[in-house]
Structure 1
């Protein structure tokens, strides 16, 4: 349980921010402590440094005999009174040679041994601390130590000044720094905890929703509680669920359509076969009904081929073998193939191509382009009554080749235009059997056009006809 709690995202987020704030507050506390310590001890340090210079000036006079030991003692005591402290002259054995009368001839306190050793090594410095001398309570002192020489022998000079009032003032300042920082840290910790929960809450909800979605519950949604990045993520998640619902509905509809399209010809085939086996159909009628069975088999074959074709295109298995092709020639060849069936249906085919000297070239897969044109022309032919006109126009517009296929057929309502690209959608359900269409032609066309970097658009008016407009980028290859 503890491990799971620690692995929680919002706990990690909270602890990371909290650790950062603690380090920041510690750094801030150390900075202000050092700042005020230097500020409060600054005057004392300057005083001890100047008095050390006065004591140092007496050492050569003693060695030269200019002043006596008694005069040295008197001078040092005057300096000690001037700083309201103590001045010790300590030999190499740690004995106080001359200074305040109460310490003269004694050994320095053990607490000061590290300072004394540093002084013998030629080092100097300031140290603030509490020391216990004899049976008296501990004293707060600021000590300055530095090396010197007297009568040719190394000594260490100690200047001690009481800093009890400075220590008390510094302690008060420290409390004034620490207490607000502690309360600020607690307040920041509470705010960080709330923010972490607020940030991680939607993510946890999305995690639960994703698990429910994986279990098949498409009704789950994540509440959007903000307009920031987390809110945008929640909106994107909900949009993804909506898309999945649409895809699932489309999948169910697709399966239902496939089942229906397969069931009809299979039912017809089985009925005729059973009828012929049971001798319900006279033998002299076999040829007629076998032709019907052949038509149904061809219908099944077209449906299966269209489904396989669409699956290859959508899955990217079908690789387009593009090359620069002359659209003038490609369109002319397609129209030559379509002209006989259109004449048989008594349709007028108008051909509007660029003049012979103007060549329009595009980077296309020629076989797929022919498939697109045939699908669109068959579609126009099926929904245009006898005596109607189908117009095919090719022209150059800027950097694009434009192909327009317009018929004078039955047309479509505006709401139908949004569904013609759907799989198995048929504008005229009552005429589906008559036309023999699978309802996949325009779906395949749209995917083929997109796969070759083209665009397709459609406009239509009910009772007046339909127009498809194809656009492909012109080839960069020149003659």
Structure 2
């Protein structure tokens, strides 16, 4: 049923509900047929009491029936005398009279209820002892059947009326529900076709409205990401093309016997620097893409953060041997993805080495719930406009480069529920990481 159109589902639900009601109506008389029987006996006994209220009737006279109108049952009374052996009226069915006489002879109670099929149909009757004789009152089961037949007809009419009255509202409800869903389907198809230019506008506050708002938020996010991707591709192509062009031009010049830097060693050094720059850009781009594809998948294991920091510094300090390093590291064990933290710290230290003037200070402190890592350099202050977007991907840095290093640092920190912020104090720029001991 869930694969059917919504309008069909509403109709099927309405039809199933109607069928269930009809089933109850049809089975009701069978299941609850005996529900009214105590009331029928009560009517017979009340009629008897009304006849006996004015005194005992003459057993030789015919007793008139208790006429109650067209909507109420017709109750017939007759008097059974044991002494004279006469009954009134005389036109009753012999089988019925025989059964009544037999039951009266066996009855010891003052009054007793009976039901019989004798005489060609069901009848309810009550035998009441009056001195040594009996007053018999009976009613045919025709009224019992008529009650259910009348009830059944009225219920059928009521159900048909409800069905006809609910037909148009059901059609309107189906259209009302499906119209915005059809519009959402069209917008989602546009989004799937990478057409993110048309906004979704549904003035609703219900579940469909919230769904439309979520789809619109997704559209705007995809549109923003597409715009950022285009800007990134434009600038990263420039970032990759520049070192390639330098390497090619220097290689051709050296091949022609020309040394752009005056000698072969200086010219080859430029080629190595550009190759290193190109390698760093490609490595950052690949790892940033890897983080996108491995989101939520970590290799969590305990590792010593202080040892990892020292190892990275030992490998990277050669890039600028003149820098002074001040280290204050306490032993800290974290539970996280060591590879991700290694890449993040490499990018963070790479940023420090490029902008530091003379020294870099690294301080690692342990607290009961978290570890705090501070990396500080004496480089130039960060421009306020750049500071607000420093950790966002595809943003131009102070040197005009479109790197991804700090964006990778933030992604890794978020993966481990850590926080990173940048601040300036006493003429220095400091990056502070707050890392919980366990993720």
- TM-score normalised per structure 1: 0.63
Alignment deviations for residues 375-408 of structure 1 (CA, whole Å, 9 cap, x no partner): 3233123223x34x43211112331111011223
Conserved 8 A contact 1:213-1:220: no
Alignment deviations for residues 45-64 of structure 1 (CA, whole Å, 9 cap, x no partner): 7428988xxxxxxxxxxxxx
- In structure 1, C-alpha distance between the alignment counterparts of 2:319 and 2:270, rounded to whole Å: 21
Conserved 8 A contact 2:250-2:260: no
Unaligned runs of 5+ in 1: 52-73, 89-97, 109-123, 132-141, 149-156, 433-437
Conserved 8 A contact 2:418-2:436: no
- In structure 2, C-alpha distance between the alignment counterparts of 1:187 and 1:170, rounded to whole Å: 24
Change in CA separation of 1:143 and 1:11 when aligned onto 2, cut-off 3 Å: same
Conserved 8 A contact 1:411-1:462: no
- In structure 2, C-alpha distance between the alignment counterparts of 1:190 and 1:343, rounded to whole Å: 84
- In structure 1, C-alpha distance between the alignment counterparts of 2:207 and 2:347, rounded to whole Å: 46
Conserved 8 A contact 1:202-1:230: yes
Conserved 8 A contact 2:63-2:89: no
* Structure-2 residue corresponding to 1:264: 242
* Structure-2 residue corresponding to 1:114: none
Unaligned runs of 5+ in 2: 49-57, 68-73, 79-86, 97-113, 128-135
- Equivalent in 56, 62, 73 of residue 78 of structure 1: 62
- Equivalent in 350, 356, 369 of residue 399 of structure 1: 369
Query: Residues 157-168 of structure 1 correspond to what in structure 2 (within 5 A)?
Result: none
- In structure 1, C-alpha distance between the alignment counterparts of 2:318 and 2:294, rounded to whole Å: 35
* Structure-1 residue corresponding to 2:212: 234
- In structure 1, C-alpha distance between the alignment counterparts of 2:299 and 2:139, rounded to whole Å: 94
Change in CA separation of 1:391 and 1:237 when aligned onto 2, cut-off 3 Å: same
- In structure 1, C-alpha distance between the alignment counterparts of 2:148 and 2:435, rounded to whole Å: 85
Conserved 8 A contact 2:413-2:419: yes
Change in CA separation of 1:163 and 1:300 when aligned onto 2, cut-off 3 Å: closer
Q: Does 2:320 align with 1:323?
A: no
- Equivalent in 5, 8, 24 of residue 8 of structure 1: 5
Change in CA separation of 1:323 and 1:397 when aligned onto 2, cut-off 3 Å: closer
Query: Residues 360-371 of structure 1 correspond to what in structure 2 (within 5 A)?
Result: 360-364=332-336, 368-371=340-343
Q: Does 2:378 align with 1:408?
A: yes
Query: Residues 410-429 of structure 1 correspond to what in structure 2 (within 5 A)?
Result: 410-429=380-399
- Equivalent in 315, 338, 348 of residue 376 of structure 1: 348
Secondary structure, aligned partner of 1:78: coil
Query: Residues 113-124 of structure 1 correspond to what in structure 2 (within 5 A)?
Result: none
Conserved 8 A contact 1:351-1:391: yes
Q: Does 2:424 align with 1:440?
A: no
Change in CA separation of 1:190 and 1:19 when aligned onto 2, cut-off 3 Å: farther
Change in CA separation of 1:26 and 1:194 when aligned onto 2, cut-off 3 Å: farther
* Structure-2 residue corresponding to 1:137: none
How many angstroms does 1:201 deviate by? 2.8
Secondary structure, aligned partner of 2:434: strand
- In structure 1, C-alpha distance between the alignment counterparts of 2:316 and 2:253, rounded to whole Å: 38
Conserved 8 A contact 1:411-1:461: yes
Conserved 8 A contact 2:424-2:430: no
Q: Does 2:23 align with 1:47?
A: no
Conserved 8 A contact 2:380-2:428: yes
Change in CA separation of 1:28 and 1:241 when aligned onto 2, cut-off 3 Å: farther
Change in CA separation of 1:191 and 1:419 when aligned onto 2, cut-off 3 Å: same
- Equivalent in 443, 446, 455 of residue 418 of structure 2: 455
Secondary structure, aligned partner of 2:381: coil
Conserved 8 A contact 1:410-1:463: no
- In structure 1, C-alpha distance between the alignment counterparts of 2:248 and 2:410, rounded to whole Å: 35
How many angstroms does 1:243 deviate by? 1.9
* Structure-2 residue corresponding to 1:350: 326
Change in CA separation of 1:14 and 1:254 when aligned onto 2, cut-off 3 Å: farther
- TM-score normalised per structure 2: 0.67
Change in CA separation of 1:334 and 1:454 when aligned onto 2, cut-off 3 Å: farther
Conserved 8 A contact 2:44-2:138: no
Secondary structure, aligned partner of 2:195: coil
- In structure 1, C-alpha distance between the alignment counterparts of 2:192 and 2:92, rounded to whole Å: 87
- Equivalent in 422, 430, 435 of residue 472 of structure 1: 435
- In structure 1, C-alpha distance between the alignment counterparts of 2:4 and 2:300, rounded to whole Å: 52
How many angstroms does 1:457 deviate by? 1.6
Conserved 8 A contact 1:408-1:465: yes
